[in-house]
Amino acid sequence: MDFFKEKFKAENLLEGQIFLIDKPLGWTSFQVVNKIRWHLKNKTGLKKLKVGHAGTLDPLATGLLVICTGKKTKKINDLQLDEKTYIGNLILGSTTPSYDQETKIDATFPTQHITEDLINKAIKSLSGKISQIPPLYSALKKDGNRLYELARAGKKIIMKPRQVIISKFEIKRKGLKINFLIKCSKGTYIRSLAHDFGKKLDSGAHLTSLRRIQSGVQLVENAYTMDSVINENSKKNIKSIKSIL
């Protein structure tokens, strides 16, 4: 059976479908959308097809992308409002300009003073409704330019804080390594949260891995790899893309 002919007929895609992708490490969300659009058009013969996602993931992040096609792209703004859940790691005692491993460490800090009590106070202060400044190395635009483009060009940028909600912030500590689970509102930057966490500890911190595991009611375990989408002969193609219409 040709999955795309049976499940993703041209008329169904145009009318609109929503399905889930597990974004690979190193891919931008834009690249995922482009690749899926090309593949669906190639398989169905459509000349035009709207495809979008409901919530950007950084290239160094993996996990759930909610993909919309056709008329369902009109639901993207509503879907972006869904609470997101992430797991990942951060390292204490050092910072980077990008707040993650995209850039090299620019400063190191003492960590010997960090106690469980200090960590718990930091978590409490970064829970609920908080103010957060987005990282300079992000896809947000300022004066028509992407922030990461301005940052890489060495331009001085002043960003205003934004209000976000952290409804859950749980950690497990192994020395300088912190494993975390975070539930948060739209617009939250986990990289900024990691950076602020280090500052609350009178030290530094930066993100070393990030994975989105949930968006609203949608779970990453119901998502499909890019390999299973674009490589029909892949041994990983155990199951086909699942529409959640």
> What is the predicted pLDDT for the residue at 67?
94
- First CA to last CA distance, the chain: 21
- How far apart (Å, rounded) are the C-alpha atoms in residues 60 and 103? 11
Is the same domain home to 31 and 131?
Answer: no
Q: Is residue 94 part of a domain?
A: yes
DSSP3 helix / strand / coil % (the chain, rounded to 5):
30, 30, 40
Nearest Cα neighbor of 20 from 235, 229, 190, 231 is 229
Q: In angstroms, what CA-CA distances link 127 with 11, 36, 193? A: 45, 36, 10
pTM: 0.87
Among residues 22, 58, 100, 196, the one annotated as catalytic is 58
Question: What are residue 20's phi and psi, to 5 degrees?
Answer: -115, 135
What mean pLDDT do residues 86-101 have?
96
Is the same domain home to 69 and 165?
Answer: no
Is the same domain home to 60 and 21?
Answer: yes
What mean pLDDT do residues 10-37 have?
92
Is the same domain home to 136 and 42?
Answer: no
What mean pLDDT do residues 99-119 have?
96
Query: Which is higher by pLDDT, 244 or 141?
Result: 141
Let me know if 58 is a catalytic residue.
yes
> What is the predicted pLDDT for the residue at 23?
96
Is the same domain home to 223 and 207?
Answer: no
pLDDT classification of 99: cutoffs 50, 70, 90: very high
Measured in whole angstroms, the distance separating CA 163 from the mean position of its chain's CA atoms is 18
Q: Is residue 239 part of a domain?
A: no
Structural element, H or E, at residue 65: strand 61-69
Is the same domain home to 64 and 183?
Answer: no
pLDDT classification of 19: cutoffs 50, 70, 90: confident
The answer to whether 207 and 88 are in contact (CB under 8 A) is yes
Q: Is residue 182 part of a domain?
A: yes
> What is the predicted pLDDT for the residue at 239?
38
Enclosing domain of residue 185: 84-140+159-215
Query: Which CATH number goes with the domain that contains 72?
Result: 3.30.2350.10
Is the same domain home to 73 and 121?
Answer: no
Is the same domain home to 112 and 189?
Answer: yes
pLDDT classification of 242: cutoffs 50, 70, 90: very low
- Residue 222: both structure tokens together: 């119901």
> What is the predicted pLDDT for the residue at 208?
97
Is the same domain home to 165 and 194?
Answer: yes
Handedness of CA 111, 113, 117, 122 (dihedral sign): negative
How do residues 56-92 score in pLDDT, each as one tens digit? 999 999 999 999 999 999 999 999 999 999 999 999 9
Among all chains, which residue has been given the structure tokens 């990282």? 135
pLDDT classification of 155: cutoffs 50, 70, 90: low
- Residue 160: both structure tokens together: 């205003």
